[in-house]
Amino acid sequence: MSKGPDLRLGALWRFATAITVFNIVGHLYLGFEQAWAYPFVALATAYATEMVLEILESRGYGRKPRFLGVGFKGFIEFLLPAHITAMAISMLLYSNKSLLPIAFAAAAGIASKYLFRIQVEGRFRHFYNPSNFGIALTLVTFHWVGIAPPYMFTENLLTTGDLVLPAIILCSGTFLNTRFTRRIPLIVAWLATFALQALLRSTFFGTPLTAPFLPMTGMAFLLFTFYMVSDPSTTPSKPLSQVLFGAGVAATYGLLLVDHIVFTLFFALSIVCTVRGIALYAGEVLRQRREAAALQPASAPVPSMPATARSGFAGDSPAV
């Protein structure tokens, strides 16, 4: 029976192509304010970190590194996740003229895949979105680093362009997440719960009704929705679990915002990924215990003593 197309590889190729084109167009035309050095530093750091950690891991397990012996195409496919992580980091972070935070974010994001993993049914799985983890850790570590201003995504566009570009992102993101990642339930739950928390904040905290809904109209929100919160490698695959994950990120966002915490999207996703990682670990421990208990032989019952044999024991002799 022939296997169907590899949806994961298809998604990686399309995500990598889309985010690369968007970065190039952003720097050339849209109005990206970061230096051109950002993506090159992020890419070099991500590639190097991925390869070094893969070599170290392969030596520990006594196997060949996954990027060797697979040809040029296989080598490129090995680097696709690192490429996507680097492009996202260079596009979303802003550290003025300093390149150290960009390199730090790229290295931290790639390292999170090797450091924070759980063995689920015999396979190791990382549970943090690499680019989101790198960005969140950098924002905490370097207090003077911020997120790229949202206006830069459409700064040089006219009225028509302000509508066309979001429409392209919306259509391409919907196609990718429908055809390849299968994360539409997660996205719908994320959007619905985000709107709900916006309405609740407006109702109970006196926020003007339009203010909490404004983030949903920006390009940064679209990119986060279709290219980060829906990452297939670090989100559940079952529809109900997807709904809980997406709703959890939006609810956490609302709670953090009520507490006046900035950069809320990235921290909310990190928190939910942490909770999911703990849940995966606990579920795996319980599964292993159940399997171990099922493999243990049942205790053999103690045979009852025949009455004739019992009569020979002291104290059981009949009276003479």
Instruction: Say if 180 falls within a structural domain.
Output: yes
Beta strands in the chain (DSSP E): 93-94, 117-120, 123-126, 146-147
Instruction: Say if 303 falls within a structural domain.
Output: no
Other CB atoms within a 10 A radius of the CB of residue 165 amount to 18
How many angstroms separate the CA atoms of 194 and 97, rounded?
A: 34
- Residues with Cβ within 8 Å of residue 139, at least 6 apart in sequence: 145, 146, 147, 263, 266
Q: What is the pLDDT of residues 196-222, one digit of tens each?
A: 999 999 999 888 888 899 889 888 899
CB of 123 closer than 8 Å to CB of 172: no
Instruction: Say if 305 falls within a structural domain.
Output: no
CA dihedral (312, 314, 318, 320) positive or negative: positive
Looking at the structure of the chain, the number of domains it has is 1
Instruction: Say if 315 falls within a structural domain.
Output: no
Which pLDDT value is given to residue 134? 97
Given a cut of 70, the residues of the chain with pLDDT beneath it are: 1-6, 297-320
Q: Is 257 exposed, middle or buried (0-12, 13-18, 19+ CB in 10 A)?
A: buried
Instruction: Say if 2 falls within a structural domain.
Output: no
CB of 184 closer than 8 Å to CB of 178: yes
How many angstroms separate the CA atoms of 68 and 78, rounded?
A: 10
Question: Residue 210: what are its φ and ψ, rounded to 5°?
Answer: -75, -25
Residue positions counted in the chain: 320
Instruction: Say if 298 falls within a structural domain.
Output: no
Q: In terms of residue numbers, what domain contains 277?
A: 7-290
Instruction: Say if 306 falls within a structural domain.
Output: no
Amino acid, single-letter form, for residue 5:
P
What does the block give as tokens for 135? 């960005």
Q: Is 122 helix (H, G, I), strand (E, B) or coil?
A: coil
Which pLDDT value is given to residue 320? 31
Q: What is the pLDDT of residues 69-126, one digit of tens each?
A: 999 999 999 999 999 999 999 999 999 999 999 999 999 999 999 999 988 777 888 9
Which pLDDT value is given to residue 302? 56
- CATH code for the domain in which residue 262 is found: 1.10.3430
pTM: 0.86
Instruction: Say if 160 falls within a structural domain.
Output: yes
